[in-house]
Amino acid sequence: MKKLLFVFALLGLFAFTAQDVALKKKSIDGKIKMLVPKSFRHLNADKEQPASENPLGQFMNRAEPLALFANDDESITLSIQETVEPGSKSRSNKKLEVEKQMGTQRDLETERKFKKASFETYFENVRFLRDEVTTINGNQFIVFEMEAKLAGENSKGEKIVSYRYIYMLYGYKGNSSYSINFSCPLDQKREWQVAAQQMMESVQL
């Protein structure tokens, strides 16, 4: 009986710390479909933090994102960005598709190693939970799931330190590359980890 009560107590603790996050399907600029937290707000481009104050700034495209979502205090974010390959407009869609089919696996594996080395250089105390190339809904992606200490300076020159849980996808379709980045404070990882996985596994290009 005591063992049974102990099990119920553990289940109750887990239910309290690993809360379900309500998600809804969204189409991002007609290019990406994925699940997004219902409670998140869609921020305007001019609301995005300067790269110096954004803990993921150096790993995000400086161009305007396709979409930027955040919770009420903007401590938890989901950013979707697109980069159009230089010179791709001069090549036919058929040639781009052939290049994609022949080179994606090799290129993504090389890019994965490069990105991982960059994270290990710029992040402090990084711990990788996932680090691989995988297929999601028919498209190949580089996947990074990690915990890291991020240090930098804000616009006032003040040092800032943030401990974050981070989930990233990098993928290609046609002449564009896409990066999808979720980040939350590390002490909220248990609440958000399952939802982050569900969001990333729902991505359709």
What's the pLDDT at 188?
Answer: 96
Can you tell me the distance from the alpha carbon of 58 to that of 1, in angstroms, rounded to the nearest whole number? 54
Least confident of 24-33, 59-68, 135-144: 59-68
Residue 43: domain span: 21-201
Place 174 in a pLDDT band, splitting at 50, 70 and 90: confident
Q: Does residue 182 sit within a domain?
A: yes
Can you tell me the distance from the alpha carbon of 125 to that of 143, in angstroms, rounded to the nearest whole number? 19
Can you tell me the distance from the alpha carbon of 128 to that of 181, in angstroms, rounded to the nearest whole number? 15
Give 126-136 pLDDT, tens digit per residue.
999 999 999 99
What's the pLDDT at 92?
Answer: 54
What's the pLDDT at 62?
Answer: 53
Q: Does residue 7 sit within a domain?
A: no
Q: Is 78 exposed, middle or buried (0-12, 13-18, 19+ CB in 10 A)?
A: buried
Q: Does residue 172 sit within a domain?
A: yes
Q: Does residue 126 sit within a domain?
A: yes
Cβ–Cβ < 8 Å for 163, 187:
yes
Q: Does residue 29 sit within a domain?
A: yes
Percent of the chain whose pLDDT exceeds 70: 70
What's the pLDDT at 10?
Answer: 45
As a whole number, the mean pLDDT across the chain is: 79
Residues linked to residue 111 through DSSP beta bridges, in sequence order: none
Q: Is the pLDDT of residue 195 over 70?
A: yes
Residues linked to residue 147 through DSSP beta bridges, in sequence order: 127, 165
Query: pTM value?
Result: 0.76
Q: Does residue 71 sit within a domain?
A: yes
Q: Is 34 exposed, middle or buried (0-12, 13-18, 19+ CB in 10 A)?
A: buried
What's the pLDDT at 151?
Answer: 81
Can you tell me the distance from the alpha carbon of 102 to that of 161, in angstroms, rounded to the nearest whole number? 42
Report the number of distinct structural domains present in the chain: 1
Residue 166, domain CATH: 3.40.1000.10
Cβ–Cβ < 8 Å for 138, 59:
no
Least confident of 82-86, 96-100, 119-123: 96-100
Measured in residues, the chain has a length of 205
Cβ–Cβ < 8 Å for 200, 143:
yes
Q: Does residue 9 sit within a domain?
A: no
Q: Is the pLDDT of residue 78 over 60?
A: yes
